[in-house]
Amino acid sequence: MNRWTQVILFALVALGTRWAAGSERAARELFRDALVASGAAASEFEGTLQRWRQQLEAECVEDHVQLFRFLHDRVLTGDYQTDCSCLDETLRTGNYNCVTATILYMVLCDARQIETTAIAAGAHVFCRLAATDADVQTTCSAWFSQEFPPQFDEPRRALTRAQLVAKIYYNRGIQQLAHGRYAEAIDLFNTSIHLDPDDSFTRNNRAAAYNNWALALADTSEYASAVARIRRGLTYDPGFEPLLANDLHVHQLWLTSLCDQHDFARAIDVLQRAGDRRPDAAFFKQGQVEVYRRWAETLLSAGKVDEAERIVNLARELLRQTSTTGST
């Protein structure tokens, strides 16, 4: 999706429900937005809603139970698959997950003027009927055949339609993350967060994407790029523990590499910059002392006594400053 398409989508979808739930216009809007979020061309499925509407009228399908049976008999004809996150895939194969099933049930209810709301419980999504406040687990084909439908204990959150569509971006981001496509994953997570800033799952997974990306870069000795990803991730989530821990870990690897190359001046500069960014982390001050030690030893081994003495004095001054700061 290019930048301008995203800008237009944000301007439209972020308005939430632009048309009243339980209307044919709302059905078209939700159906289209979900296809766009899936990365699909809405034109490919242009006649789908019209065909469903004709079938519903021909078969006199009116109430929410009949619509649910229509959904599972005619649309969700494949298998439940947790990674089936794109609406176009569901429409082509009949496979589904909780997001695509909920979207399609809400679309069908809209077409018959039945108002619904999407509900999130943890990472799970289902539907609630406005008229009765009854929950519908859209992935369970036998839901209305059960005398005592199971209930879920997770905290529940009502979703706007924009927030429901955000789940598609989130799920697509999870798939990209699993395949190590970090930039693509982060882009999808950012889109999801734009539409649903309250979703902690997406924010945590965006931070995890930056963390995993940094570690992958460190594995190929691209330490500067790895640190840049960590810094970016921490701007979004300053308290994300894996990022904080790996900030130290990647710097340790980088410093070892620089010292092995006798690039001590750059190692000190790297540590000073990191220490300015994270004054709470003693590692960066301690690391400078260790670099100065190795630097001085290298100079002494080369017979450069005066230069070694200068480096030792720099280390002493740093220790003095650290001691003074710690005692205030």
Query: Does the residue 35 lie in any domain?
Result: yes
Concatenating the DSSP letter of every residue in 165-219 gives: HHHHHHHHHHHHHHTT-HHHHHHHHHHHHHH-TT-HHHHHHHHHHHHHHHHHHHH
- pLDDT for the residue numbered 8: 46
d(CA 249, CA 243): 10
d(CA 126, CA 104): 11
CATH number for the domain spanning 25: value is 3.10.620
3 state DSSP class of 80: strand
- pLDDT for the residue numbered 20: 54
3 state DSSP class of 120: strand
Provide the token pair at 237.
């989530």
Query: Does the residue 305 lie in any domain?
Result: no
- pLDDT for the residue numbered 321: 83
- pLDDT for the residue numbered 62: 87
Q: How many domains does the chain have?
A: 1
- pLDDT for the residue numbered 305: 94
Taking 50 as the pLDDT cut, the residues of the chain under it are 3-4, 7-8, 12, 14-19, 327-328
Cα 98 versus chain centre, distance: 18
90 and 79 Cβ atoms separated by less than 8 Å: no
Task: Compute CA distances 96 → 23, 30, 45, 136, whole Å.
Answer: 24, 17, 17, 16
89 and 171 Cβ atoms separated by less than 8 Å: no
Closest by alpha carbon to 169, among 9, 8, 17, 4? Answer: 9
Query: Does the residue 99 lie in any domain?
Result: yes
d(CA 278, CA 139): 47
- pLDDT for the residue numbered 262: 96
Query: Does the residue 64 lie in any domain?
Result: yes
119 and 102 Cβ atoms separated by less than 8 Å: no
Query: Does the residue 184 lie in any domain?
Result: no
Half-sphere exposure (CA, 13 Å, Cβ side) for 204? Answer: 5
Query: Does the residue 46 lie in any domain?
Result: yes
Query: Does the residue 75 lie in any domain?
Result: yes
Domain region containing 130: 3-166
Query: Does the residue 18 lie in any domain?
Result: yes
